Amino acid sequence: MKKVAFIFPGQGSQKIGMGKDFFENSEIAKDMISKASERLRINFEELLFEENDKIGQTEYTQPAILLVSSIANKIFNDKYTIKPEFVLGHSLGEFSALVSAGAIDYLDAIELVHKRGIFMNEACAGAGAGMMALVGLDDLTVEKMCEEQRSKGLNVWAANYNMDGQIVLAGLKTDLESLVDTFKEAGAKRAIVLDMSVASHCELLQSAVENLKPYLEEYLKDEFLTDVISNVTAKAYNTKEEAIELLSEQLINPVKYKHSISSKESDVDAFIEFGNGIVLKGLNRKITKKPTYNVSDFDTLNKTIEALNE
């Protein structure tokens, strides 16, 4: 049997209609969506399947993505028995990974990330926070440039290490906008300020850290079924104590996604992405030669099972 890792996407993977195939063809999905709606008093059928503005708001985006990823993972596990060598997620996806690892119930996780989104918004409220996608510069160059700009009083940090030559920055939107030409002059192929009102994985979220910790204490379990790879360290953890510290630190530290895949690829034959789209599958093509399968509906579910049986 192949050795696999389960991986889970984060914010940015959302889309109206995600999870609809599962909902229409699975009692498991119907039940999970119904229970999530009751728990948060949010109509997830409307949020997921009907045109709305909330799907792009952090406190709604995060539980929606986690719910769809958890449904995909649950349906897969019911159809195919395989224990992952480890699980990991990109930013928000680390919470979906914890659900998969049995470290938190999916309903508790949905409430937890809903609160996480609220705390992130509160931390950035009125600050003019934002994020920027940067393509074509190496890590060291970006880090030195950010450090130099901070010494001049600007608020800008490396937030997501997605793959070689692709980094997402976080900070104040006006500061990021003022640096577009600076990054391009340094050799960046693209420097695009994103349509976001939060600045994830940087010091601007410091106030969210202490707000989140009590809920991590309340909802996380003591037992993990498998290792989880931390966004902060790119290393494995499997205890509640470690999870509380690392998930708190994750808010103000960059996501080391490419480091996580590179450091663990030798332990598996393939990766399986659970949730909407193929964001991580696309990144993995640039990071590792190991295949990445995805489970976002019943068609991709069946194709993934076929690939695992080859």
- What average pLDDT score do residues 167-190 get? 97
Domain count, the chain: 2
105 and 216 fall within a common domain? yes
Per-residue pLDDT reduced to its tens digit, 210-248: 999 999 999 999 999 999 999 999 999 999 999 999 999
Are residues 175 and 89 located together in one domain of the fold?
no
96 and 145 in a single domain? The answer is no
Residues 87 and 147 in one domain: no
* 167 and 47 in a common domain: no
Output the pLDDT for position 31. Answer: 98
Domain co-membership, 133 together with 272: no
Q: Are residues 182 and 154 in the same domain?
A: yes
The type of residue at 53 is D
C-alpha separations of 242 from 7, 24, 69, 298 in Å: 20, 38, 23, 35
Whichever domain contains 72, its CATH number is: 3.40.366.10
* Residue at which a domain ends, from 179, 196, 213: 196
110-125 average pLDDT score = 96
CATH number at residue 164: 3.30.70.250
Length of the chain: 310
Please, are residues 187 and 194 in contact by the beta-carbon 8 Å criterion?
no
* pLDDT tens sequence across 2-48: 999 999 999 888 899 999 999 999 999 999 999 999 999 999 999 99
Question: What's the average model confidence in pLDDT over 57-70?
Answer: 95
pTM: 0.96
Q: Are residues 181 and 156 in the same domain?
A: yes
- 90 and 24 co-located in one domain: yes
Assign 197 a pLDDT band (cuts: 50, 70, 90): confident
115 plus 217 within the same structural domain: yes
* pLDDT given for residue 12 in this prediction: 84
Residues noted as catalytic: 91, 201
Range of 209's domain?
Answer: 4-123+204-309
Same domain, 215 and 286: yes
Both 89 and 228 in one domain: the answer is yes
| pLDDT at 1 > cutoff 90 | no
